[in-house]
Amino acid sequence: MNLPDPQAIANAWMSQMSDPGQWQSWFTQAPATEAHPMAAMMQDVGAHIKPEEMERLKNQYLQDFGALWQDMLAGKAPKLSDRRFSSPAWQANPMSAFNAAAYLLNARFLNAMVEAVEATPQQKQKIRFAVQQIIDAMSPANFLATNPEAQQKMIETKGESLTKGLANMLADMNKGHISLSDESAFEVGRNLAVTEGSVVYENPLFQLIQYTPKTATVNQTPLLMVPPCINKFYILDLQPENSLVRYAVAQGNTVFMISWANPDMTLAQTTWDDYVEKGVIEAIRAVQDISGQDKLNMFGFCVGGTIVGTALAVLAARGEQVANSLTLLTTFLDFRDTGVLDVFVDETQVSLREQQLKGGGLMPGRDLASTFSSLRPNDLVWNYVQSNYLKGNDPAAFDLLYWNSDSTNLPGPMFCWYLRNTYLENKLKTGQLKVAGQVVDLSKIAAPAFIYGSREDHIVPWPSAFDSLNVLNPGKPKANRFVLGASGHIAGVINSPAKNKRSYWTNDKPAGRGAAKPADAEAWMAGATEHPGSWWPQWAAFLNEHGGKKVKAPAKPGNARYKPLEAAPGRYVKVKAD
């Protein structure tokens, strides 16, 4: 049996979406004829399923659909456990309840077919992703004609909700993205990124912020924070009550932050080497000069952590160990399991990007934002289509979602290098790469590591974050510490102790030969202990352990060489992507 071509199947199905009404209708009907679109999809997938398994799935499906139809004729309302159909309006209208139940049945059947396809794991994941995108898009909740909540509100408001919804949609079309938050409620520098500080250095690639101390004495070893360049740094400094930056300062640290430039065509030739050499390493030199300390506590978040790891390995190859400690939050060093993002990375797709961008250009921030939204379409797309457009609601003010919509571009050469050498070929941890003229060997970084993963992270699966334990400090497992937080890639990280929400897991028990910690995530989790609240105090204790002695807090930012240029958060973070 030939393996399916996931892209061909996805393309064939997606082409039929030019008639959404046809697709939406078949999600609430049984495929009674061969001409029915669902029958065509069944045939596409069924060609790669064992005949006996396909027959079993079809028989089960027809049995379930027949039972649903009989219940409808008998006036028995179906149970709708999906939160998209939790409103009483769905149950109040028998046809709406039937449509929702039929949609859910067809969705389950298609997903069952995907799981039965004989294909490689990567092929199956791509088919699964494509099918799920279609399923989510075709929910009856997404269409005014089949959404009883939207219809009810339109009647109650005498059409005002529909008028407002159309206005919201047109406004978003002009902005180029769906509004996830009330964007008029926030302004960077006014009520976001307001921790006091000064920009003490800048080059075309980044600004360096030094934050104002909040304690009389501070740890002698400064903290340099490197955020992801794919997003803006103020995710770490939202509002005062949920700012990781403010918390670190309040814990007695002298904190520096890289604020990456939002690239325009003047940075279209920028490479990964530049982000390492002209970015992190140049920032390290500035912090060393300002603080008078040779060693720093280094911090990296997401791809910021990958860049930090690369920079420290480059410096190690040059004979310099500049990190007194290393903190990595939701970071890949080993890219062997990249989760659902794997559907976007194969030789064909990477080669296409290289043809477009390797010689120069920009990867638009809006394209990156759309990619990440597609990983959670019900939460980040269709939920807002229903609320903002069909019901005419204004989105609520939510700082994290405002940040999520404030996208950044990436330089094409840097982006292409990153895709091929990490996601596609996983070369970063192997010692096969040269960056800034040096062979990258992450095992040569001589610094204890605090590694954090989020349990529901769909961008950096937590076992992949955990894998950094086996990359850093090999043979010295006690030098590393792993903490697992609840929730996802962002919400798990931004979990202030002031909120007293969620929980986290630790496992500091010796295990295995030589009292080494478990070498795999499953073993670690089996022996882990759950704690209520925020993991931030665990990190603060780690920084204090590696912060050196207490010294008098700096009286002013910078020094004679690195003079304050402007107040934090600086100009760079306010630049919008085109």
Cα–Cα distance, 176 to 367 (Å, whole number): 11
Cα–Cα distance, 204 to 270 (Å, whole number): 10
Instruction: Give the three-state DSSP class for 301.
Output: strand
| Contacts of residue 393, Cβ cutoff 8 Å, sequence gap at least 6 | 161, 387
pLDDT of res. 45 = 64
pLDDT tens per residue across all 578 residues of the chain: 333 343 443 344 334 333 434 434 444 454 444 444 455 555 666 677 888 998 898 899 999 999 999 998 998 989 899 999 999 999 998 999 999 999 999 999 999 999 999 888 888 888 899 889 989 999 999 999 999 999 999 999 999 999 999 999 999 999 888 999 999 999 999 999 999 999 999 999 999 999 999 999 999 999 999 999 999 999 999 999 999 999 999 999 999 999 999 999 999 999 999 999 999 999 999 999 999 999 999 999 999 999 999 999 999 999 999 999 999 999 999 999 999 899 999 999 999 999 999 889 999 998 998 888 888 999 999 999 999 999 999 999 999 999 999 999 999 999 999 999 999 999 998 888 999 999 999 999 999 999 999 999 999 999 999 999 999 998 887 899 999 999 999 999 999 999 889 999 999 875 433 445 557 899 999 999 999 999 999 999 999 999 999 999 999 999 999 999 999 999 999 999 97
pLDDT of res. 49 = 85
Peptide bond into 518 cis (omega under 30): no
**Domains of the chain in sequence order:** 6-151 (no CATH), 197-574 (3.40.50.1820)
Q: For every residue of 403-467, which 3-state class applies, written as one string?
A: HHHCCCCEEHHHHHHHHHHHHHCCCHHHCCCEECCEECCHHHCCCCEEEEEECCCCCCCHHHHHH
Cα–Cα distance, 280 to 396 (Å, whole number): 36
Catalytic residue list? 302
Provide the CB-side half-sphere exposure for 464 (13 A, CA): 25
- Spell out a b/e string for 522-534, using b for 16 or more CB atoms within 10 Å of the CB, else e: eebbeebeeeeeb
Looking up tokens 């390797």 gives 358
| Contacts of residue 425, Cβ cutoff 8 Å, sequence gap at least 6 | none
- Spell out a b/e string for 207-241, using b for 16 or more CB atoms within 10 Å of the CB, else e: bbbbbbbbeeebbbbbbbbbbbbbbbbbbbbbbee
CA distances from 106 to 51, 138, 247, 445 (A): 20, 11, 48, 52
Cα–Cα distance, 475 to 470 (Å, whole number): 9
Cα–Cα distance, 365 to 220 (Å, whole number): 38
Beta bridge partners of 483: 452, 506
pLDDT of res. 517 = 57
pLDDT of res. 500 = 86
pLDDT of res. 25 = 47
To the nearest 10 degrees (0 to 180), the angle between helices 121-137 and 94-116 is: 170
Strands 434-435 and 480-485: unpaired
Cα–Cα distance, 296 to 287 (Å, whole number): 8
pLDDT of res. 578 = 74
Cα–Cα distance, 465 to 403 (Å, whole number): 23
Q: How many C-beta atoms surround the C-beta of residue 552 within 10 A?
A: 9
Cα–Cα distance, 502 to 456 (Å, whole number): 12
- Spell out a b/e string for 431-448, using b for 16 or more CB atoms within 10 Å of the CB, else e: eebebbebebbbebbebb
pLDDT of res. 120 = 86
Instruction: Give the three-state DSSP class for 224.
Output: strand
